Structure 1
Amino acid sequence: MRESTLSESRSDRLLGYCSKGTFLSVITVSGQYGVNELGEIPADARLPTSFGDFRIRVFHEENTGLDHVALTLGDMIGPDPVLVRVHSECLTGDAFGSLRCDCGAQLEAAMRQIHDVGWGCIIYLRQEGRGIGLHAKIQAYNLQDHGADTLDANLLLGHPADARDYGIASEILGSIGIEKVCLLTNNPDKVVQLVQNGVNIVERMPLVVGVREQNLQYLTTKIDRMGHEIEDERLNGHRQ
């Protein structure tokens, strides 16, 4: 019969392990966003992936109730700049392989580059749909299926074109000891927000991947109307 409860001896060993402070120390961050990493057992573990053995840590944002992730490889503390990707959640792209966007391809490329360099960090923010949430994002997809572009679809739903706030990422970066950043992004607003929140970005590195027929209009809108810096010859025929 399969055991459904811990044996007394096993339970005692686990409780002793916790009470002796064997786990890594808990980090508390007090700032504008109320980010913390709290609990008797920290949400901090090894995460083997196809791109290497990463470390995953969860940071809880008290203001919103959302859990954000820092995925790191190697030592984050030191004089050398750290390769960083601040990535906003995209269920359809990251999990389901959607070709409507380049999000999943960017996440994989960032993990691959961090593995190749040997150290780096991905801040995974729970800001689905450029901050408007999954339900509204799929509503926006519906409008795009009927002719709206990715920016106008948000506006038609009464949302900002981009509602993301990267200030929380700056707090997480600081809490894990990253002082200098090489940022993987095509989004200049992300750079501006992070710098305004005290992040020392020494270099912006483009991340142009996942360009396909299905997302050419989406990407050209990001270039022409949202100021993203994406250079790919396949986009030239779709530019305004």
Structure 2
Amino acid sequence: MPQSRTLFGRPGETDLVAVDRALAEFRAARPVLLRHGSELALALSAELAEADLAVRLESLSAGNTRLVLSSARLRRLGAKGRAETGILAMPTIDLARVETLALKLDARVDAPVGPAGALDNAALELARLSLVLPAVILVPVQAAQVAGEPLIEVSIDAVNGYRAAQVARLAIVGRAPVPLEGAPDTEFVVFRGGEGLRDQVAIIVGKPDLSTAVPVRLHSACLTGDLFGSLKCDCGDQLRETVQWMAENEGGILLYLDQEGRGNGISNKMRAYKLQSQGWDTYDADEVLGFDLDQRHFDFAAAMLKQLGVSSVTALTNNPLKVGAIKAAGLEVAATQRVLGRPNVHNVRYLASKRDRAGHFIDMDALMARAAPKD
């Protein structure tokens, strides 16, 4: 029997529409109705919650509201050894308590941490997709309580399957030659999909030979480093020097991926930067905010390469996570090649942390030698 169809397509396609709408609602500080079988719960971003809405939600909660927090944030709150998402009971929706548990540096768990269920984990995934803090107020409700409310309802299966569905829909929507300084023979290819409603870009430098291992760099967008030349990271150096190297060495492909701040978004990146200015290590700063070492996904990057006809790559990266992701997606990694930036007083701790905490292949001696003044 053929599947039913609506204006928005078949059921799998309507799931995407529902999540797209849910993300817009969630980022606008409005609750989203999550469904898991017969279970229903209203999910609201903890960082965006407003007092008047909290009062209305509390009238529905019957004392069963809970705060869902990531394992990283719970570890920072003193739940030692926590490896999974957890929940804290909220007899009342106390926004001061929510702010403390979700954001305050000196906060500690103030109640037993319970295990998260399917609704809780889906709520955190909704927060991550929305690029807000991974902290969610979850209010279990009955269908009759919210009947007639203008809520967006979405199943947890749709939320959990959203990233993979976006990869499957990845498509080229535009391409054109864009001559660059030092690399005049360059083409930009724009893909739609991969991560929510954002576009991704492949920069094809020169005429790389697709029958051999193509030099490829997966480069996550960094507004501060790429555009403004921030001294806090080496991203801008890696971007420009990779393009220059490709132009001088028979071409290559740079994928410019919209995954700012290791996938946490620009607002959370700035929060982490503020913590770093107070002495926190880059990864500790992210953990304070509730994020693990790296929130990025690279399956859609591999899909972009496949659509461009690439089957084997020389990976221009210091990050083993990227190498593993390319291999896991079915592409051959014929070789790897380091991409050096320039160390300075502002980024040397950051570079050392990437080496020591995330296993990046960074030779600090070679970097310092590169930065030393030439005779």
- Give the alignment's TM-score, normalised by structure 1: 0.80
Q: CA deviation at 1:31?
A: 7.3
Unaligned runs of 5+ in 1: 1-29
Alignment-mate amino acid for residue 228 of structure 2 = F
Asked whether 1:51 is paired with 2:186, we answer no
Q: CA deviation at 1:234?
A: 7.2
Instruction: Name which structure has the greater RCO, CA cutoff 8 Å, separation 6+.
Output: 1
CA-atom RMSD in angstroms? 1.7
In 1, Cα distance between the equivalents of 2:295 and 2:357? 15
Aligned 8 A contact 2:166 2:193 in 1: no
In 1, Cα distance between the equivalents of 2:195 and 2:272? 26
In 1, Cα distance between the equivalents of 2:194 and 2:366? 43
User: Per-residue CA shift, 1:19-52, capped at 9, x if unaligned?
Assistant: xxxxxxxxxxx974421124xxxx2111110121
With over 3 angstroms needed to count, the CA separation of the structure-2 counterparts of 1:69 and 1:156, relative to structure 1, is: same
Structure 2 residue aligned with 1:184: 316
Alignment-mate amino acid for residue 182 of structure 2 = F
Aligned 8 A contact 1:130 1:162 in 2: yes
Q: How high is the sequence identity, in percent, across the aligned residues?
A: 36
Aligned 8 A contact 1:166 1:193 in 2: yes
Alignment-mate amino acid for residue 174 of structure 1 = K
Structure 2 residue aligned with 1:91: 223
In 2, Cα distance between the equivalents of 1:228 and 1:212? 18
After superposition, residues 1-240 of structure 1 pair within 5 angstroms as 32-38=167-173, 43-52=174-183, 53-61=185-193, 64-76=196-208, 78-233=210-365
Count residues in correspondence: 203
With over 3 angstroms needed to count, the CA separation of the structure-2 counterparts of 1:209 and 1:63, relative to structure 1, is: closer
User: Per-residue CA shift, 1:33-81, capped at 9, x if unaligned?
Assistant: 421124xxxx211111012121001101165011000000233453221
Q: CA deviation at 1:119?
A: 1.3
Structure 2 residue aligned with 1:21: none
In 2, Cα distance between the equivalents of 1:197 and 1:135? 30
Aligned 8 A contact 2:340 2:367 in 1: no
In 1, Cα distance between the equivalents of 2:194 and 2:364? 40
User: Per-residue CA shift, 1:88-143, capped at 9, x if unaligned?
Assistant: 00000000000100000000110011001121100010000000000000000000
Aligned 8 A contact 1:73 1:114 in 2: yes
Aligned 8 A contact 2:207 2:250 in 1: no
User: Per-residue CA shift, 1:211-231, capped at 9, x if unaligned?
Assistant: 212101001111111100100
Alignment-mate amino acid for residue 180 of structure 2 = T
- Give the alignment's TM-score, normalised by structure 2: 0.52
Structure number with greater Rg is 2
Stretches of 4+ moved more than 6 A in 1? none
